Amino acid sequence: MTSENATHYNNITLNKEQSIKVQVKYNSRAKSTILRIDPRTDALIITVPKVLSPSKIRCLVEKNSNWILEKISLLPSKTPFIDGQIFNLMGKHVIISHDPGNLGGVKLINETLLVSGKVEHISRRIKDWLKKYAHNILAAKVKCMAANLDTSFGRISIRDNRSSWGSCSSQGNIAFSWRLIMAPEPVINYIVAHEVAHLVYLNHSKDFWNTVGTLDANYQESKNWLRINGDLLQRVG
């Protein structure tokens, strides 16, 4: 059971200039009001510990309008999956090439991603292909790192998470965001090491971080990379 519900408020105007979407999440476990910008939609997400009236929500938004507009302006440009677009795959540049006559679906040939079918299906086809590609790469890395710790794992799944790059359940099931496959490989290795370490320690204790370090000695650099560039991955596709 969850203590969280979401309510959507559309078109709240800031400084008589810009309208934004606002999503309010009521979470009884929240200790304070939290404001953040969704890097995919540019929407403002507000988490509050108790239900607030629409007028109080509007007041909260207007009070923080300068901060909100600044955060939105600092978001990187969006990178759509369209013909001719370049994006990163495991840290390497790949160019999308629409080839409607190709019967092979989606194929990676050197640094070109060939996509068949109708132009309006390019984005969906690429996302489906990336999810499968990510599963193959990440599953192999989990298997290798879990063996290094002499531990086992359950199911590996690929999702489109907004708030985390990976997760590990108490049953040993591991989930990753497919967008992680667009990060440099050392960053991918860090997230895999992080989740595999949770197979042994379901916390963030000193022993947990020491285990992450045994799997990825340079994890701190990758952690910093995600902190700086994570929004960029959320803006692709």
pLDDT per residue as tens, the chain (237 positions): 344 555 556 667 776 667 888 888 888 777 888 999 988 888 898 988 877 788 888 888 889 988 998 998 888 888 999 999 999 999 999 999 999 988 778 999 999 999 999 999 999 999 999 999 999 999 999 999 999 999 999 999 999 987 799 999 999 999 999 999 999 999 999 999 999 999 999 999 999 999 999 999 999 999 999 999 999 999 998
- Residue 210 CA to residue 217 CA, distance in Å, equals 9
* Tokens (6 digits) for 143: 């298997």
| pLDDT at residue 186 in the model | 98
Q: For residues 234 and 162, is the Cβ–Cβ distance under 8 A?
A: yes
The DSSP string of 81-134 is --TT-EEEETTEEEEEEE-TT-SSSEEEETTEEEE-S-GGGHHHHHHHHHHHHH
What DSSP element (H or E) covers 46? Answer: strand 44-48
Beta strands per DSSP E along the chain: 4-14, 18-27, 34-37, 44-48, 86-89, 92-98, 106-109, 112-115, 156-159, 166-168, 174-177
Rg of the chain over all Cα atoms, to the nearest angstrom:
20
Cα angle 154, 202, 134 (rounded to 5 degrees) comes to 45
What DSSP element (H or E) covers 70? Answer: helix 65-73
- Decide the pairing of beta strands 174-177 and 166-168: antiparallel
Domains, the chain, in order of start with CATH, read 4-73 (no CATH), 127-234 (3.30.2010.10)
* Tokens (6 digits) for 22: 């606002």
| pLDDT at residue 193 in the model | 98
| Sign of the dihedral defined by the CA atoms of residues 63, 234, 193, 175, in that order | positive
**Threshold 0.75, pTM exceeds:** yes
Widest Cα–Cα separation across the chain? 59
| pLDDT at residue 3 in the model | 46
